[in-house]
A and B are shown apart, each in its own frame.
Chain A
Amino acid sequence: MEPFGIAPAMLALFVSFGFMVGVLFGFFGMGGSFLVTPALLVMGYPTRVAVGSGMAFVFGTAVIATLKHRDLGQVDYKLGGLMVVGTTAGIEVGSHLVYSLEALGLAGGVIGVTYVFLLGGIGVFVSYNALRSDGSDDSGGGGHHEVANQDIDPDDIPDIAKQIQSYRVPPMMTLSGGIQVSLWMILGVAFATGLLSGFLGVGGGFIRMPALFYLIGVPVPIAVGTDLFEIVISGGFGAYTYGLNGGVDLSIVVPLLAGSALGARIGSAATSVVNEDDIKIYFGLMLLGGSVAVAFQQSAGYLGMPVLDTIGFILIMLSAFMVSGAVIYSTITTMRARSNASATTAD
């Protein structure tokens, strides 16, 4: 018997892979275009089906992760809506930049190098900042269940975000945590992230999540939740567009979603358990792993060595596996430490 028309072993592989991607997606608000599409391509699916089914899967997983973040009060719908507007405009301009570079015959090289340096640069920046501030947060865990309704400590806002918040060009918007930012600054940040996303041809969670934190000053769990809300809209639109041309294969999407639904719940819940700095370190490591992997894949084309492409794929899967494992391990140890501490207090 072959449910969904695929062999049971393949079904188990899809569910397990979906689980791993779900953990990362719920925890970071990124990982879809990074992992799913390349994996489907390696498995021999046509590009249109790999991209379309990957997009449909990302949409479904984003719905689940957003619902969980909503339960935890970690989604700012107003900010998410504004980000969608700015990002859409940015993507449009970014894609036109690609067409211009294509006309000059430079698209492949420029995009590849930008992608590698952007992934690596954000990875180093986020990891460095998290390691520098590690230990200064004495909260002992994420504990951001109530964060959406609380004013955040000004010391927790990055310096760049404070600078951006100081430009009080009306109309001013009040966001979760009592942050006040000019509408134009939000749209500007959204446009810039959309520009990069459209230029690189990626979903952009790895750009948007740190941008929401470092540039606008939104706490990390809300940045993840709001980023996921935006992915629901963009992913839904993408799935619809590919669905029009028969690019979505439900026999791929359904088992992947079955696994990611559980993973996304765990990953999303983990953001309110794991220390905020730990989230940033894992995020940075994930991007650094991705950067090295993409560098290998880009080099494969230039050097005519397909083996580098395979090495890149294995590297990205390994880093995703290790980081998702670390997220689960960190969540369990933090929960244990908390329950031990509360038991000691009760004694």
Chain B
Amino acid sequence: MIDLAASSPAVQAGALVGTILLEAVALYVGYGAVEQVAQPLVERITHT
């Protein structure tokens, strides 16, 4: 296990940016999967 609290500020800041990047990509992929499922529903709404 890597102890980030004991690492240098540069490593901590890099890990922080990496975490945000990972969260952004995960959210993008996650919402993309939801969109695939919800697409037929959206089309039904736009047709009404």
- Interface on A for B, CB 8 Å cutoff? 56, 59-61, 63-64, 67-68, 236, 239-241, 243-245, 248, 250, 253-254, 257-258, 261-262, 265, 332, 335-336, 339, 343
13 pairs from A and B in contact (CB 8 Å cutoff) = A64-B24, A67-B25, A67-B28, A236-B17, A239-B13, A240-B14, A243-B16, A244-B10, A244-B13, A248-B13, A258-B27, A339-B43, A339-B47
B13 interface neighbour in A67, A243, A254, A336, Cβ under 8 Å: A243
Question: Contact between B46 and A332 (Cβ–Cβ < 8 Å)?
Answer: yes
Binding site for A on B (CB under 8 A): 9-10, 12-14, 16-17, 19-21, 23-25, 27-28, 30-32, 35, 43, 46-47
B16 contacts A248, C-beta separation under 8 Å: yes
Our pick among B13, B14, B27 for the contact of A64 (Cβ within 8 Å) is: B27
Chain B: minimal CB distance from A344 (Å): 13
Report the bound CA distance from A262 to B43 in whole Å: 18
User: Would A336 and B46 count as touching, CB distance under 8 A?
Assistant: yes
Complex: chain A residue closest to B43, CB-CB: A339
The 7 closest A-B pairs by CB, nearest first: A243-B13, A261-B27, A63-B24, A60-B24, A243-B16, A244-B13, A60-B20
Say how far B24's CB is from chain A's closest CB, in angstroms. 4
A239 to B19 alpha-carbon distance, docked (Å): 11
Q: In the complex, what distance in Å separates the CA atom of A317 from the CA atom of B44? A: 32
Question: Are A243 and B17 in contact, with the CB atoms below 8 A?
Answer: yes
Residues A262 and B9 in contact in the complex (CB < 8 Å), given A61-B24, A63-B21, A67-B25: no
Chain B's nearest CB lies how many Å from the CB of A21?
A: 14
Question: Which residues on the B side are within 8 Å of A248 (C-beta)?
Answer: 13, 16
Q: Judge whether A59 and B27 touch: CB under 8 Å.
A: no
Chain B at the A interface: mostly helix, strand, loop or mixed? helix
A interface SS class: helix
- Residue numbers in A under 8 Å from B24 (CB-CB): 59-61, 63-64, 257, 261
Tell me how far the C-beta of A256 lies from the nearest C-beta in chain B, rounded to whole angstroms. 11
Residues of A within 8 A of B46 (CB): 332, 335-336, 339
* Contact yes or no, A60 B23, CB < 8 A: yes
Asked whether A59 lies within 8 Å of B28 as measured between CB atoms, the reply is no
Q: Is there an interface contact between A243 and B12, defined as CB atoms closer than 8 Å?
A: yes
Q: Which residue of B lies closest to A263 (CB)?
A: B31
Q: How far is the CB of B18 from chain A (nearest CB, A)?
A: 10
> Beyond A60-B23, A335-B46, is A261–B17 a contact (Cβ under 8 Å)?
no
Q: Is the CB of B16 within 8 A of A68?
A: no
Nearest opposing residue in chain B for A71, CB measure: B32
B20 touching A239, Cβ below 8 Å: yes
**CB of B42, distance to nearest CB on chain A (Å):** 8
- CB B31 to nearest CB in A, in angstroms, measures 6
A331 nearest CB across to chain B (Å): 10
Chain A positions within 8 Å of B21 at CB level: 59-60, 63, 236
A67 to B23: give the CA distance in the assembly, Å: 13
Q: Which residues of B contact A67 (CB under 8 A)?
A: 25, 28
Minimum Cβ distance to chain A for residue B12 (Å): 7
Chain A residues near B12: list those with CB within 8 A: 243-244
